Protein backbone atom coordinates (compact mmCIF):
# COMPACT_ATOMS: atom_id res chain seq x y z
CA UNK A 1 0.00 0.00 0.00
CA UNK A 2 1.36 3.43 -0.91
CA UNK A 3 1.51 6.02 1.84
CA UNK A 4 1.06 9.72 1.34
CA UNK A 5 3.53 12.06 3.03
CA UNK A 6 2.01 13.48 6.17
CA UNK A 7 1.61 16.32 6.89
CA UNK A 8 1.52 17.61 3.36
CA UNK A 9 4.68 19.72 3.10
CA UNK A 10 2.88 22.07 0.74
CA UNK A 11 0.07 22.72 3.23
CA UNK A 12 -0.21 26.42 3.94
CA UNK A 13 -0.71 25.94 7.68
CA UNK A 14 1.28 26.42 10.86
CA UNK A 15 1.94 22.67 11.11
CA UNK A 16 2.98 22.45 7.45
CA UNK A 17 5.43 25.31 7.99
CA UNK A 18 6.71 23.62 11.17
CA UNK A 19 7.34 20.44 9.20
CA UNK A 20 9.23 22.33 6.47
CA UNK A 21 11.38 24.19 9.04
CA UNK A 22 12.33 21.02 10.93
CA UNK A 23 12.87 18.74 7.93
CA UNK A 24 15.65 21.04 6.65
CA UNK A 25 17.88 20.41 9.66
CA UNK A 26 16.61 17.19 11.27
CA UNK A 27 15.23 15.00 8.50
CA UNK A 28 11.87 13.59 7.51
CA UNK A 29 11.25 11.17 10.37
CA UNK A 30 12.13 13.59 13.15
CA UNK A 31 10.03 16.29 11.51
CA UNK A 32 7.04 13.93 11.41
CA UNK A 33 7.46 13.08 15.09
CA UNK A 34 7.78 16.77 16.01
CA UNK A 35 4.59 17.67 14.11
CA UNK A 36 2.74 14.68 15.59
CA UNK A 37 3.80 15.84 19.06
CA UNK A 38 2.50 19.32 18.28
CA UNK A 39 -0.83 17.86 17.17
CA UNK A 40 -1.05 15.80 20.36
CA UNK A 41 -0.41 18.94 22.40
CA UNK A 42 -3.17 20.78 20.56
CA UNK A 43 -5.58 17.88 21.09
CA UNK A 44 -4.70 17.65 24.79
CA UNK A 45 -5.43 21.35 25.34
CA UNK A 46 -8.72 21.12 23.43
CA UNK A 47 -9.87 18.08 25.41
CA UNK A 48 -8.87 19.42 28.84
CA UNK A 49 -10.37 22.86 28.37
CA UNK A 50 -13.93 22.74 27.00
CA UNK A 51 -13.85 26.49 26.29
CA UNK A 52 -10.65 26.31 24.25
CA UNK A 53 -10.78 26.78 20.49
CA UNK A 54 -8.14 26.00 17.90
CA UNK A 55 -6.96 29.03 15.94
CA UNK A 56 -4.72 28.42 12.94
CA UNK A 57 -1.67 30.66 13.32
CA UNK A 58 -0.77 30.57 9.64
CA UNK A 59 2.35 29.46 7.84
CA UNK A 60 3.99 32.87 8.32
CA UNK A 61 3.65 32.86 12.13
CA UNK A 62 7.38 32.58 12.86
CA UNK A 63 8.30 35.15 10.21
CA UNK A 64 5.97 37.67 11.85
CA UNK A 65 7.72 37.15 15.18
CA UNK A 66 11.21 37.96 13.91
CA UNK A 67 12.43 41.35 15.07
CA UNK A 68 14.51 42.85 12.21
CA UNK A 69 16.78 44.80 14.59
CA UNK A 70 17.55 41.68 16.62
CA UNK A 71 18.21 39.63 13.50
CA UNK A 72 20.60 42.30 12.21
CA UNK A 73 22.40 42.44 15.55
CA UNK A 74 22.77 38.65 15.66
CA UNK A 75 24.13 38.45 12.12
CA UNK A 76 26.64 41.26 12.77
CA UNK A 77 27.80 39.48 15.94
CA UNK A 78 28.23 36.20 14.06
CA UNK A 79 30.25 37.83 11.27
CA UNK A 80 32.42 39.68 13.80
CA UNK A 81 33.09 36.41 15.63
CA UNK A 82 34.25 34.91 12.31
CA UNK A 83 36.80 37.71 11.92
CA UNK A 84 34.96 40.01 9.51
CA UNK A 85 34.66 43.76 9.91
CA UNK A 86 31.04 44.77 9.41
CA UNK A 87 29.81 48.22 8.37
CA UNK A 88 26.08 48.66 7.91
CA UNK A 89 24.61 51.17 5.50
CA UNK A 90 20.90 51.71 4.87
CA UNK A 91 19.61 50.25 1.61
CA UNK A 92 18.61 52.79 -0.97
Does the structure show a pLDDT above 50 at 1?
no
Task: Express each pLDDT in 24-57 by its tens digit.
Answer: 999 999 999 999 999 999 999 999 999 999 999 8
Number of Cβ within a 10 Å radius of residue 62:
13
In the prediction, which pLDDT does 59 show? Answer: 86
Task: Express each pLDDT in 13-27 by its tens digit.
Answer: 899 999 999 999 999
Distance CA 75, CA 83 (A): 13
Band of residue 60 on the pLDDT scale cut at 50, 70, 90:
confident
Does the structure show a pLDDT above 70 at 90?
yes
Could you tell me which residues come within 8 angstroms of residue 31 by beta carbon, excluding any fewer than 6 positions away?
Answer: 19, 22, 23
Amino acid sequence: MARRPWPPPAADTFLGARYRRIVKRRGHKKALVAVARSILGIIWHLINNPDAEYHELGSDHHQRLIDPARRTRDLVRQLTAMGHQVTLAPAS
